[in-house]
């Protein structure tokens, strides 16, 4: 099973690495980090923090963009081009196919995150901004967030068109960053319906803010081990649930 999933993953990675969109978004991400450095020079205070805030935002935004815009075509393209016919006639289950595609894309996006992170470290060192364990943790949690977004894009790609899948994925990404605030505001409401509704939304939708340690990193605040492990486990669980749902939907599809 592992061999078949790995074969699918390697092939997906080979295909993803040929995407022009990947390089375009990577270029813009690096350009935005440079822009942040230039803009920071105009500031008299907290230059280093500005550089790193820009860099974290850039890494998060562009790696999520890559995840969504390449991820939404992940399954759809295979069905459209009918490559799925020969692949699924082999002793490979549909779930293995899906997990292989997911893993392949995720590996490429993690490679992009690693490139962006290296650039971030270079820019930080150049600008004299501090680097520490919290920065590493913040970058690692961005990688977990990307894993959740790729899983969402894979889920939508397994049953709808790339356009709709990108709407759904982007929508969930925005919502995922708001659910925590929504729950906190809802908790102060006098309406039980609002309180319960916002609490359930927070439970069901991905809490993507739990993967955000960039403020702690750029302010050089220390973080507890649980601030890293808990979101990482939460992310892994969430990915498993989404991929299981995607596999169930994909299993029922006719090609």
Partner 1 sequence: MSASAEIVRVDDLVKDVRPGFGLRKKRVLDGISFRVREREIFGFIGPNGAGKTTTLKVLMGLIRATSGKASILGHDVSETTFRRQIGFLPEQPYFYDYLTGREILRFYAKLSGVSRGCRERRVTQLLELAGLSAEGNTRLRSYSKGMLQRIGIAQALVHDPQVVFLDEPMSGLDPVGRKEVRDIILRLRAEGKTVFMSTHILSDVEMLCDRVAIIVNGRIRYEGAIDEFLHAGEPEADLVFANLPAETATRLEERFEARLRGHGDHIELRIAEKDSSEALRVALDAGADVISATPHRVSLESIFLSTVNEADTEEDSR
| Site of interaction with partner 1 (CB under 8 A) | 3-4, 7-8, 11, 14-15, 18, 81-93, 252, 254-255
Minimum distance, C-beta of residue 73 to partner 1, in the bound complex (Å): 14
First and final C-alpha spacing in the chain: 23
User: What string of H, E and C letters represents the secondary structure of 92-124?
Assistant: CCHHHHHHHHHHHHHHHHHHHHHHHHHHHHHHH
Minimum distance, C-beta of residue 135 to partner 1, in the bound complex (Å): 37
Asked if 205 contacts 236 with a C-beta cutoff of 8 angstroms, the reply is: no
Burial class (CB within 10 angstroms; exposed 0-12, middle 13-18, buried 19+) of 47? middle
Minimum distance, C-beta of residue 210 to partner 1, in the bound complex (Å): 37
Of 93 and 160, CB closest to partner 1 = 93
Minimum distance, C-beta of residue 8 to partner 1, in the bound complex (Å): 7
Separation of alpha carbons 136 and 195, rounded Å:
36
* Residue whose C-alpha is closest to residue 249's, from 62, 99, 94, 30: 94
Of 95 and 175, CB closest to partner 1 = 95
Of 15 and 207, CB closest to partner 1 = 15
Separation of alpha carbons 136 and 255, rounded Å:
43
Minimum distance, C-beta of residue 255 to partner 1, in the bound complex (Å): 5
Minimum distance, C-beta of residue 106 to partner 1, in the bound complex (Å): 19
Of 83 and 189, CB closest to partner 1 = 83
The single-letter DSSP state of residue 44 is S
Burial class (CB within 10 angstroms; exposed 0-12, middle 13-18, buried 19+) of 81? exposed
Of 93 and 220, CB closest to partner 1 = 93
Of 185 and 253, CB closest to partner 1 = 253
């Amino acid at each position: 099973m592992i061999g078949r999933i790995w074969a699918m993953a390697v092939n997906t990675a080979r295909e993803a690495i040929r995407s022009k969109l990947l390089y375009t978004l990577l270029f813009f991400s690096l350009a935005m980090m440079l822009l942040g450095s230039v803009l920071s020079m105009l500031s008299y205070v907290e230059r280093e923090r500005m550089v790193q805030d820009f860099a974290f935002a850039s890494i998060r935004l562009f790696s999520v963009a890559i995840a969504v815009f390449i991820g939404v075509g992940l399954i759809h393209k295979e069905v459209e081009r009918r490559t799925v016919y020969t692949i699924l006639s082999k002793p490979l289950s549909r779930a293995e196919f899906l997990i292989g595609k997911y893993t392949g894309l995720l590996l490429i996006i993690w490679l992009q995150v690693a490139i962006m992170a290296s650039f971030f470290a270079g820019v930080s060192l150049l600008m004299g901004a501090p680097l520490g364990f919290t920065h590493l943790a913040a970058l690692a949690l961005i990688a977990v967030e990307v894993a959740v977004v790729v899983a969402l894009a894979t889920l939508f790609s397994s049953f709808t068109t790339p356009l709709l899948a990108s709407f759904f994925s982007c929508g969930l990404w925005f919502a995922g960053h708001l659910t925590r605030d929504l729950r906190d505001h809802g908790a102060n409401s006098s309406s039980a319906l609002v309180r319960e509704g916002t609490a359930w939304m927070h439970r069901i939708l991905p809490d993507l803010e739990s993967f955000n340690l960039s403020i702690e990193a750029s302010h050089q605040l220390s973080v507890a081990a649980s601030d890293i492990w808990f979101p990482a486990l939460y992310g892994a669980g969430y990915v498993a649930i989404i991929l299981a749902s995607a596999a169930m939907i994909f299993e029922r599809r006719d090609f």
